[in-house]
Structure 1
Amino acid sequence: MPDGILPDALLERIRARAAGYDRDNSFFHEDLGELAAAGYLKIFVPESDGGAGLGLAGAAVLQRRLAAAAPATALAVNMHLVWTGVARILAARGDDSLQYVLDEASRGEIFAFGISEPGNDSMLFDSGTVAEPLEGGGYRFTGRKIFTSLSPAWTRLGIFGKDGSAREGDGELVFGFIGRDAPGHETLSDWNTLGMRASQSNTTLLQGAVAPPERIFRKLPVGPNQDPLIFAIFACFETLLAAVYTGIGERALTLAVEAAKGRTSAKNGGRSLSQLPDIRWKIAEAAMAMDGIQAQLSSVANDVDALVDHGAQWFPKFVGLKVRATENARTMVDTAIRVSGGSAYFNGSELERLYRDVLAGIFHPSNDESAHATVANAWLGPLES
């Protein structure tokens, strides 16, 4: 499966471009073009519609491979895969409300994720963006969205906002899609970051952007809820993020092994570092950690595909996987740098770039504090008032 959609030759071309995108702070246009031509953006689309018909587990395997070659490219592509994956997960559970996402992806449309907002730590459960209802069922959205990956290339942007007048003044969260050719949105050129630079996750200003009634796909109460859409977004977002960072960790471990075999120690008679007990212990520790996260990622993704019912434990599983994968990847990169020595500290080395890229993992939702609160609530119940 990976060899057909993501062959080694394509991966090597993508890997060869990663440093240049990072250096120039430029978008991965060439990567995206090749990935689209290879059918990578259609991996969740059914085979009957020209896609690969993969589930979440298959997509996670591919994203690990892509991230090992070019983390920023994989991270940005994740956002398209989240929406198409959400549509796939909902359809598998009898909900065809996002079937048009798969249909349009099959025709080459590129989806992006316009959900994050500055200062909104409620994420999917509240919004500072105003959703104004229009006659006929559409909505006009006004607000600021941050970390909009794929900003130079998306043709469909999934957004949400709050209609404060709905539900007798309690408010209602409205989810919809806008097209790139529609008026009322602006992409800022403000992505100048420490790492993940090729993702070009610029800020998007919604200035009265209209989502037509046929592109409004959910209206939910403010606050946590058990709607299948929320489940599907968490499942795809957290699992595919974990796949990207697991791929980074795998690449770091590979580089650490290469460095251990390629470096020698003068004070140990020119012996290879791979023969030194301390280095062998570091590599072994890293390899065992990778075994653990790979198994956890596979287990969660396969359970989503198999429609396993974990009930209230699903969300702890998703956020726990994300936190463990991102933290594990940081440990892998740190280990690789320690084994590789001072050459990794130089600007332009692959490990130097991975060191910057992997740091982004701490900023993706769910963050460490939110994840621990979710897991604690699942096992101990909510805090008493």
Structure 2
Amino acid sequence: MTFDAAAWLPDDLIERIRGRAAQVDHDNVFPQEDLDELAAAGYLSILVPSELGGGGLGLAEASLLQQRLATAAPATALAINMHLVWTGVAKVLADRGIDDLRFVQEGAVRGEVFAFGISEAGNDLVLFGSDTVAEPLADGGYAFTGTKIFTSLAPVWTHLGLHGLDTTSADAPQLVYAFVPRSDAVVTRDDWDTVGMRGTQSRTTELHSAVAPADRVVRRVAPGPNPDPIVFGIFSVFEILLGSVYTGLARRALDLAVATAKTRTSKKSGTTYAQDPDIRWRIADMGLRYDALPTELASIARDVDENAPHGARWFTLLSGVKHRAVVMAKSVVDDAILVAGGSSYFTRSELGRLYRDVLAGQFHPSDPESAHATAASAWLGPLES
């Protein structure tokens, strides 16, 4: 049976979200109305099993929904992504018999919002290391001190999932994954003034001995490349949902280009641009690039859902799909702007906003250098020491 994304994100909801996107971008604010409507529709718990009160969807269905949401407001979709990453990781772990993130699933059903606090300035190890100090407490909890960047959902999150490095325990060093609640020990800077994706409000977060209780410390793993399920869970869900957002953004740019070509008339020929051979070739080329990604995302998302035995190839496949989605989206938006002409250069233009939004894709892990290094190791073997 074909999945009906419109059942979860009806046309009228999509149009309301799209109708607010320009003002959110202009005002550089968080899209609170979008979040309220999505929460009321049960969107925050789409990846939670139905027996726990959630939507019972898989990652493949969530990918389709995030593509659809991104056609309306890429920044809203990207912000919601970071919450869905944690509910997706909870699902990946639970599907493999690990119930460590049950509280995330139950919290999502109650309407709690989980943010993603992994990125740190200058830390290109990402999941394999952290500059944040994780200090063990006597009761089994941890106090985290450090600075996280690109913390989406900054004004609204209720729990921040993060990692830090424990250097003092007997088995140190250990990377500690845990969740801290909002408190006076967490300071959110009002510093999100970016070129695009402004509605994500991905502000810098300062941690000043922010405490994660013992029951919110979910994993302790050795630094460096690690086969632990939480590393795979984060990487797989993060890459697939990121690729989904940028693929949805590309679809909107393609649709806008088609609409423009059908309505824009050439003074030279007297016909619409849809009859111009050069424009037809350009839009055809955009479509050929776009068409590959929804299918690829669906395939790899199903493989995660079904625990396919890709082994060591997983990280190449996952970083690759994200990289291809971002590169495709940027090229499609570039061509859509050429089809639309100079009107897209104005800030009031939706294509102009998509052009600014799509630039963010290159900064998310895996960045182009990391994706290529992963692929090179997969095909050529590791670098010789």
Same fold (TM over 0.5): yes
SS, match of residue 60 in structure 2: helix
In the alignment, what sits opposite 2:308? Answer: 308
Deviations 1:248-296 (A, max 9, x none): 000000001011111111122x111111111110011111111111111
Q: Distance in 2 between matches of 1:49 and 1:229?
A: 21
Q: Distance in 2 between matches of 1:164 and 1:190?
A: 31
Aligned identity (percent) is: 59
Q: Distance in 2 between matches of 1:166 and 1:152?
A: 34
In the alignment, what sits opposite 2:299? Answer: 299
The alignment's TM-score, normalised by the length of structure 2, stands at 0.98
**One-letter amino acid of the counterpart of residue 61, structure 2:** G
Q: Distance in 2 between matches of 1:257 and 1:376?
A: 37
2:61 paired with 1:58: yes
Q: Distance in 1 between matches of 2:109 and 2:261?
A: 45
In the alignment, what sits opposite 1:116? Answer: 119
2:22 paired with 1:19: yes
Q: Distance in 2 between matches of 1:167 and 1:235?
A: 31
After the TM superposition, list the runs of 4 or more consecutive aligned residues in structure 1 that deviate by more than 3 angstroms: 166-169
In the alignment, what sits opposite 1:355? Answer: 355
SS, match of residue 30 in structure 1: helix
**One-letter amino acid of the counterpart of residue 287, structure 2:** A
In the alignment, what sits opposite 2:178? Answer: 176
SS, match of residue 266 in structure 1: coil
Map 1:16-95 onto structure 2 (within 5 A): 16-95=19-98
Q: Distance in 2 between matches of 1:378 and 1:352?
A: 38
Q: Distance in 2 between matches of 1:218 and 1:338?
A: 49
Q: Distance in 1 between matches of 2:159 and 2:311?
A: 32
Q: 2:262 touches 2:274 (CA, 8 Å); kept in 1?
A: yes
CA shift at 1:166, angstroms? 3.5
Task: Tell me how many residue pairs correspond in the alignment.
Answer: 382
**One-letter amino acid of the counterpart of residue 175, structure 1:** Y
CA shift at 1:343, angstroms? 0.6
**One-letter amino acid of the counterpart of residue 336, structure 1:** A
Map 1:242-321 onto structure 2 (within 5 A): 242-268=243-269, 270-321=270-321
SS, match of residue 240 in structure 1: helix
Q: Distance in 1 between matches of 2:163 and 2:192?
A: 22
Q: Distance in 1 between matches of 2:316 and 2:170?
A: 29
CA shift at 1:164, angstroms? 1.5
SS, match of residue 268 in structure 2: helix
CA shift at 1:167, angstroms? 5.3
Q: Distance in 2 between matches of 1:336 and 1:150?
A: 29
The alignment's TM-score, normalised by the length of structure 1, stands at 0.98
Q: Distance in 1 between matches of 2:250 and 2:157?
A: 28
**One-letter amino acid of the counterpart of residue 168, structure 2:** S
Q: Mark the CA change 1:167 to 1:320 in structure 2 (over 3 Å): closer, same or farther.
A: farther
In the alignment, what sits opposite 2:368? Answer: 368
Q: Distance in 2 between matches of 1:107 and 1:4?
A: 21
CA shift at 1:165, angstroms? 2.3
Unaligned 5+ segments in structure 1 are none
**One-letter amino acid of the counterpart of residue 7, structure 2:** G
In the alignment, what sits opposite 2:161? Answer: 158
Map 1:131-210 onto structure 2 (within 5 A): 131-166=134-169, 171-180=173-182, 182-210=183-211
Deviations 1:14-64 (A, max 9, x none): 000000000000110000000000011110111122211001000000000
Q: Distance in 2 between matches of 1:291 and 1:356?
A: 22
RMSD: 0.9
Q: Distance in 2 between matches of 1:86 and 1:222?
A: 19
Deviations 1:280-333 (A, max 9, x none): 100111111111111111111111112111011100000000110011000111
SS, match of residue 221 in structure 2: strand
Q: 2:144 touches 2:209 (CA, 8 Å); kept in 1?
A: yes
SS, match of residue 204 in structure 1: strand
**One-letter amino acid of the counterpart of residue 207, structure 1:** H
**One-letter amino acid of the counterpart of residue 103, structure 1:** E
